[in-house]
A and B are shown apart, each in its own frame.
Chain A
Amino acid sequence: MTAHEHLRRVARIPGLVAAAVVCAQCAAALADDSRQCGPRSMLVEPDTGQLLLVCENRGDILRVDPRDGTVVARGTTGQQPFALCANPDRTSYYVSCRRGQEINEFDARALRVTRRFPLLGDPTGLAVSADGTRLYASVHSLDQVAVLDLSTGNEIARLSAGNGPESVRLWPGSGRVYVTNLLSNPVPPQQACRNEVTVINDATGRVVERVTLDNANVGRGIDFATDFAVAAISRPKNLVPMVQVARGWVVTNGFAILSPDRDRPPVQLLIDLPNQFFSDPYDVAVTPSGDRFYISCAGADMVVSIDVSGVRAVLDDIDAGLIPRPGDHLGLSRRYVSARIPTGTNPHALALTPDGSTLYVANRLDDSVTVIDTAADRVTRTLTIGDPGPPDRLMRGERFFHSAARTFQGQFSCASCHPDNGFDGLQYDLEPDGLGRNILDNRNMRDVSGTGPFKWVGSNPDIGTQCGTRTAKWIMRTGWLNSVQVVDLTTYIQSIPPVVNPYRAPDGGLTPAQKRGKVLFDRTTTNEGRPLADGERCDFCHSGPKYTDAKTSDIGTASPTDSATEFDSAHLNNIFESAPFLHDGRSATLEQLWTDHNPEDKHGFSRDWTKQQLNDLVEYLKCL
């Protein structure tokens, strides 16, 4: 579904006058969204020094003159291009298209599509094997890495990745491909998150290692020196009350050092300072000499320059037992962060020239490229890509969503806990009501328009209330937002489209199992023929276009640490990607909603279901 289709669909929802007004505005803004490039991925062509930029919003790939930002060539990609990589001899480029569910192969010289590889799911990161025969593509929504034979274009394997695989990079000379994952692997309730870096043997095309990063989440970019890999990560402290924001300790930002040749577990270090945070680390670029690397901080509009010798000295101290908890140490960054360099808005992709003298930073939300002289770690110029024009309401809202500037000490942006415009899969102790009370599952922001009221207890009638002043006061802890800011933010949030649903047939039809599941979802009698009361039916509470009656109900899930007993009837659209489930995230899978957490049949009458019926219902729910 395109953004325009999404807005049209949202506009059809009855009874949402305010939303319709807002959406009319975002529709107008999107009507000419072709002017917004939204550079998501970038490469430097080694022979010409020209830049290749993938424009996520507009769906094209640009060849840009790095001297003045002139677009010298343009190619058209599938919907929502995301990542870009080249084959070893640089004769072809590959672009993953998330919404298009395909990978485009481009002739490197002409920037023309030569082949299209359709793929089940939404491909994100890409890498070509060292011998140029295989393409690795992470599939975010299915937690997989697809392996394609480039001679035929056929998919030859689906590897199990971590949760929401993101970047895929070949470590040159190591024979290994590294895959970062956006979200933590599933963990039991009330336990700290565990992010995974999935390692593939390039010779066999099989996963050979899963590096666990304890307490880490939101894995993004990764790059390599000769003897270590460095991955951008965040370290959320979701199980302590959010009151800790005022104490500067909720989401910290940093990187993980993976040293496979040394018998050392991965080490996580922060780029933050005790009273200043550099949120949403995104991409990593290691200089060819390996003496420095850079991390783009998307929420802080900054690039951090890191001195590798300083990192090595810290690692030595860690090995010597001198630093017991380096991942939480906010004072260490002074030993290795050599510069913090302002960029444009929402810096994402980084690319170094082959000699390492120049770093390019693609700024996703102002269509610019910051050019940095790495010898001095200073900005030499900024290239404007095309003519982005002044930011409209939608763009202002998107910038607000992705900026940590208004959060106390810049600790986090909306996108820190809602990465990829979605969610981080964690549960939070949001209220200052005592440790461990009212733990709430973070909710998905995609396709959220028309799903009010908000908050798990349903106390916020609209997104403006949920994400406006209340958020600023209790979460950002910086004071009030003005009405324009609230409308900007609300406009953007309501415009966020759903992700591609791999469980849904392209033609919208249902499989036989999904049809059977729908019958169960809509049923009005039990298997024995007894009429079901309203509250015993699925489609009574989960009604309407977003499958919610906009009310709260007691479905028997309140725990002794909850203050409330009734919770919001969760909307079911795109529920396939929203695990874990229930207000406190206690249900890891959809099946467990009824096998483990519905002992009294308060969450629908389910005791008469067969296993076959439960499976059918789950199949149906996943396609919504």
Chain B
Amino acid sequence: MSLMRRHIGTVTLRGKGNNAHCHSERREESRSLLGKMLRVAQHDIQRLRFALVCSAMCAVTALAASIHAAPPYYDHWETFDNTDGLPSNKTLCVLATADDVWAGTDQGLTRFTDGQWRTYTPDDGLAHRAVLAIAEDSRTGDIWIATMGGLSRYSAGRFDTFTQRTSGLANDVVYGVTVWRGQVWAATAAGASRYDVARDRWTIFDETNTPMHEIWCYSVIGCENNIYMAVWGGGLLEYNTGRDRWKDYRDPDGEMEIDLFRNDGLIHDVVASVDCDAKRRVWIATYFGLSSYDGRRWRNFSETDSPLVSNFVNYVATREDLCWIATDNGLNASNRDDWWAYRRDDATGKGVISWHPEDGPVERFTTDTIFPHNYILGVSFQGDDLWLATEKGLARAKMTRDSQVHATDTRRHRGRHNDTTDRTTKGATNP
């Protein structure tokens, strides 16, 4: 408990700085407004009194809103399942590209384009029906698909499949895939494979040439000059491509059931997923909590000392400086300091959403719609929309005006720049 208090205190201190900056801007605005009002007052003292009162009320309201009001949140949810054309409700991953949404299920790959779902199976050339991960090559538009039976490339209607028998792929059970600078990285059950597409060259990374003491790779991503690999039971691996060096991050206490010392390193070695945010912080999903590493310091989160909805974290996906955390018991979003928690109330079928600011009270909301199941395996983004892969189908979330009326700083929540004027207007007119 004392650790938790210390932790929260640090967060609060950092947050105050941010708020101070924010408040300073508001005082400038107020001074400017006041000056205008004084000039007007030279002609009409009554009008001045009225304006001062209004100004003071607005300032107090805005200050309160900046501290306590929640950013906009995803309050409108749609579900897509087998009644909509999905081959199965067991969706294992989702990838939203600029034009399409791709989802992997236990019964094939499915693509949402022009409002229709089109499913691909091994009959179409897919390596295996169970699709575990999907990645897009941003240079070519090709889609790479990790399956339980090999790696497939979808390119303008054609599937090319790579297996351990027909290619240099390390193993046919491919849990994760990413495309980084023209190279395809595949996390497999027997190490990782790198496929240099232009050179048609495969490389295997396993216990023989990396610090990978376990070879069960679950997820892989590229971040600047580094490749990060989530190794189930083996922690996190970092490969510096420029120096051709590997480094492993392991749980320092080595304990399976408890985390002895807080923030001393990776929270647990059973790592399921990894991603990197705009601040180059690495977010690591483990089955025993969440870790975040900024290159110098670790921050660890568990359901007992943070708003994390479950320690069993399946997947992490970042957008700008915000990490979305898919667990077996709902969804979180966090920038380390502020947290959102999304859960489905199975009794009512409604959404229970809570905002946990670092420096204010928790706010709770209820939505009529929510994702179809709390077991979430994938997160992706398309414009303002959020897509989730869950145990009972896909979910697409939007932010409606109802949620945006709470906005005072949408950047903090949505992780990107929004229309400042629009944001300010909403904050001022809908306190």
A interface with B by C-beta (< 8 Å):
120, 142, 144, 156-160, 185, 196, 198-199, 204, 206-210, 502-503, 513, 588-589, 591-592, 595-596, 611-612, 615, 618-619
**B141 surroundings in chain A (CB, below 8 A):** 204, 206-207
**A185 surroundings in chain B (CB, below 8 A):** 158
**A591 surroundings in chain B (CB, below 8 A):** 165-168
- Report if B279 contacts A (CB, 8 A): no
**B155 surroundings in chain A (CB, below 8 A):** 160, 207, 210
- Report if B157 contacts A (CB, 8 A): yes
- How far is it, in angstroms, between the C-alpha of A303 and the C-alpha of B155 when the chains are bound? 36
Contact with A along B176-204 (1 / 0, CB 8 A): 00000010000000100000011111111
- How far is it, in angstroms, between the C-alpha of A589 and the C-alpha of B162 when the chains are bound? 10
**A144 surroundings in chain B (CB, below 8 A):** 198
- How far is it, in angstroms, between the C-alpha of A198 and the C-alpha of B156 when the chains are bound? 9
**B168 surroundings in chain A (CB, below 8 A):** 591, 615, 618
**B166 surroundings in chain A (CB, below 8 A):** 588-589, 591-592, 595
With both beta carbons as reference points, the residue of chain B lying nearest to A502 in the complex is identified as: B199
Q: Which 8 pairs show the lowest CB-CB distances between chains A and B?
A: A206-B141, A595-B165, A207-B156, A157-B139, A158-B198, A615-B168, A210-B158, A589-B166
**A196 surroundings in chain B (CB, below 8 A):** 158
- Report if B206 contacts A (CB, 8 A): yes
Nearest Cβ on chain B to A154's Cβ, whole angstroms: 12
With both beta carbons as reference points, the residue of chain A lying nearest to B155 in the complex is identified as: A160
B interface with A by C-beta (< 8 Å):
139-142, 153, 155-158, 160, 164-168, 170-171, 182, 190, 197-204, 206, 208
With both beta carbons as reference points, the residue of chain A lying nearest to B201 in the complex is identified as: A619
Partner of B160, one of A142, A160, A615: A160
Known: A142-B200, A615-B204, A618-B168. 16 other contacts (CB 8 A): A142-B198, A158-B197, A159-B140, A160-B140, A160-B155, A160-B197, A207-B140, A207-B141, A207-B142, A209-B156, A209-B157, A502-B199, A591-B166, A611-B164, A611-B204, A615-B202
Q: Is the CB of A612 within 8 A of B201?
A: no
Q: Is the CB of B167 within 8 A of A160?
A: no
Nearest Cβ on chain B to A618's Cβ, whole angstroms: 7
**What are some 15 contacts across the A-B interface (CB < 8 A)?**
A120-B199, A142-B199, A158-B182, A160-B155, A196-B158, A198-B156, A207-B142, A207-B155, A209-B156, A210-B155, A503-B201, A589-B166, A589-B167, A595-B164, A595-B165
- How far is it, in angstroms, between the C-alpha of A208 and the C-alpha of B99 when the chains are bound? 13
**A513 surroundings in chain B (CB, below 8 A):** 203
**A589 surroundings in chain B (CB, below 8 A):** 166-167
- How far is it, in angstroms, between the C-alpha of A157 and the C-alpha of B201 when the chains are bound? 16
With both beta carbons as reference points, the residue of chain B lying nearest to A207 in the complex is identified as: B156
State the majority secondary structure of interface residues on B: loop
Nearest Cβ on chain B to A427's Cβ, whole angstroms: 18
- How far is it, in angstroms, between the C-alpha of A592 and the C-alpha of B201 when the chains are bound? 16
With both beta carbons as reference points, the residue of chain A lying nearest to B166 in the complex is identified as: A589
Partner of A210, one of B139, B156, B200, B201: B156
- How far is it, in angstroms, between the C-alpha of A199 and the C-alpha of B170 when the chains are bound? 32
- How far is it, in angstroms, between the C-alpha of A289 and the C-alpha of B223 when the chains are bound? 54
- How far is it, in angstroms, between the C-alpha of A133 and the C-alpha of B167 when the chains are bound? 36
Most chain A CB within 10 A, of B140, B153, B164, B201, is at B140
Most chain A CB within 10 A, of B164, B168, B203, is at B168
- How far is it, in angstroms, between the C-alpha of A588 and the C-alpha of B158 when the chains are bound? 17
- How far is it, in angstroms, between the C-alpha of A185 and the C-alpha of B197 when the chains are bound? 18
- How far is it, in angstroms, between the C-alpha of A120 and the C-alpha of B199 when the chains are bound? 8
**A596 surroundings in chain B (CB, below 8 A):** 165
Q: Is the CB of B167 within 8 A of A612?
A: no
- How far is it, in angstroms, between the C-alpha of A206 and the C-alpha of B137 when the chains are bound? 11
Known contacts being A142-B200, A158-B140, is A199 close to B165, with CB within 8 Å? no
- How far is it, in angstroms, between the C-alpha of A611 and the C-alpha of B215 when the chains are bound? 14
**B202 surroundings in chain A (CB, below 8 A):** 615, 619
Q: Is the CB of A592 within 8 A of B165?
A: yes
**B171 surroundings in chain A (CB, below 8 A):** 611
Q: Is the CB of A208 within 8 A of B156?
A: yes
Most chain B CB within 10 A, of A158, A209, A588, A589, is at A158
**A159 surroundings in chain B (CB, below 8 A):** 140
- How far is it, in angstroms, between the C-alpha of A209 and the C-alpha of B157 when the chains are bound? 7
- How far is it, in angstroms, between the C-alpha of A596 and the C-alpha of B164 when the chains are bound? 11
Most chain B CB within 10 A, of A120, A144, A207, is at A207
Q: Is the CB of B197 within 8 A of A199?
A: no
Nearest Cβ on chain B to A547's Cβ, whole angstroms: 21
**A208 surroundings in chain B (CB, below 8 A):** 156
Nearest Cβ on chain A to B207's Cβ, whole angstroms: 10
**B157 surroundings in chain A (CB, below 8 A):** 209-210
Known contacts being A160-B142, A207-B140, is A612 close to B160, with CB within 8 Å? no
- How far is it, in angstroms, between the C-alpha of A23 and the C-alpha of B156 when the chains are bound? 47
- How far is it, in angstroms, between the C-alpha of A158 and the C-alpha of B140 when the chains are bound? 7
Known contacts being A207-B155, A591-B168, A595-B164, is A612 close to B139, with CB within 8 Å? no
- How far is it, in angstroms, between the C-alpha of A207 and the C-alpha of B141 when the chains are bound? 8
With both beta carbons as reference points, the residue of chain B lying nearest to A199 in the complex is identified as: B156
**A611 surroundings in chain B (CB, below 8 A):** 164, 170-171, 190, 204
Most chain B CB within 10 A, of A185, A589, A596, is at A589
With both beta carbons as reference points, the residue of chain A lying nearest to B182 in the complex is identified as: A158
Nearest Cβ on chain B to A608's Cβ, whole angstroms: 15
Q: Is the CB of A157 within 8 A of B140?
A: yes
Most chain B CB within 10 A, of A208, A210, A502, A611, is at A611
With both beta carbons as reference points, the residue of chain B lying nearest to A589 in the complex is identified as: B166
Nearest Cβ on chain B to A120's Cβ, whole angstroms: 6
**B201 surroundings in chain A (CB, below 8 A):** 503, 619
With both beta carbons as reference points, the residue of chain B lying nearest to A610 in the complex is identified as: B208
**B203 surroundings in chain A (CB, below 8 A):** 513, 615
**A198 surroundings in chain B (CB, below 8 A):** 156
**B198 surroundings in chain A (CB, below 8 A):** 120, 142, 144, 158
- How far is it, in angstroms, between the C-alpha of A142 and the C-alpha of B199 when the chains are bound? 8
- How far is it, in angstroms, between the C-alpha of A198 and the C-alpha of B142 when the chains are bound? 14
- How far is it, in angstroms, between the C-alpha of A591 and the C-alpha of B163 when the chains are bound? 10
Q: Is the CB of A612 within 8 A of B199?
A: no
Nearest Cβ on chain A to B342's Cβ, whole angstroms: 35
Known contacts being A158-B197, A160-B155, A595-B166, is A612 close to B204, with CB within 8 Å? yes
Nearest Cβ on chain B to A529's Cβ, whole angstroms: 19
Nearest Cβ on chain B to A176's Cβ, whole angstroms: 12
- How far is it, in angstroms, between the C-alpha of A619 and the C-alpha of B165 when the chains are bound? 15
Nearest Cβ on chain B to A420's Cβ, whole angstroms: 19
Nearest Cβ on chain A to B97's Cβ, whole angstroms: 11
With both beta carbons as reference points, the residue of chain A lying nearest to B157 in the complex is identified as: A210
- How far is it, in angstroms, between the C-alpha of A611 and the C-alpha of B164 when the chains are bound? 8
With both beta carbons as reference points, the residue of chain A lying nearest to B141 in the complex is identified as: A206
Nearest Cβ on chain A to B348's Cβ, whole angstroms: 45
**B190 surroundings in chain A (CB, below 8 A):** 611
**A502 surroundings in chain B (CB, below 8 A):** 199-200
- How far is it, in angstroms, between the C-alpha of A619 and the C-alpha of B153 when the chains are bound? 21
Q: Is the CB of A160 within 8 A of B200?
A: no
Known contacts being A120-B199, A204-B141, A502-B199, is A160 close to B165, with CB within 8 Å? no
Nearest Cβ on chain A to B236's Cβ, whole angstroms: 23
- How far is it, in angstroms, between the C-alpha of A209 and the C-alpha of B221 when the chains are bound? 29
Nearest Cβ on chain B to A152's Cβ, whole angstroms: 15
- How far is it, in angstroms, between the C-alpha of A160 and the C-alpha of B137 when the chains are bound? 12
- How far is it, in angstroms, between the C-alpha of A457 and the C-alpha of B220 when the chains are bound? 48
- How far is it, in angstroms, between the C-alpha of A160 and the C-alpha of B159 when the chains are bound? 11
With both beta carbons as reference points, the residue of chain A lying nearest to B204 in the complex is identified as: A612
**B200 surroundings in chain A (CB, below 8 A):** 142, 502-503
**A209 surroundings in chain B (CB, below 8 A):** 156-157
**A592 surroundings in chain B (CB, below 8 A):** 165-166
- How far is it, in angstroms, between the C-alpha of A206 and the C-alpha of B138 when the chains are bound? 10
Q: Is the CB of A156 within 8 A of B139?
A: yes
- How far is it, in angstroms, between the C-alpha of A503 and the C-alpha of B201 when the chains are bound? 9
**B204 surroundings in chain A (CB, below 8 A):** 611-612, 615
Nearest Cβ on chain A to B271's Cβ, whole angstroms: 23
- How far is it, in angstroms, between the C-alpha of A156 and the C-alpha of B158 when the chains are bound? 22
**A612 surroundings in chain B (CB, below 8 A):** 204, 206, 208
- How far is it, in angstroms, between the C-alpha of A570 and the C-alpha of B142 when the chains are bound? 35
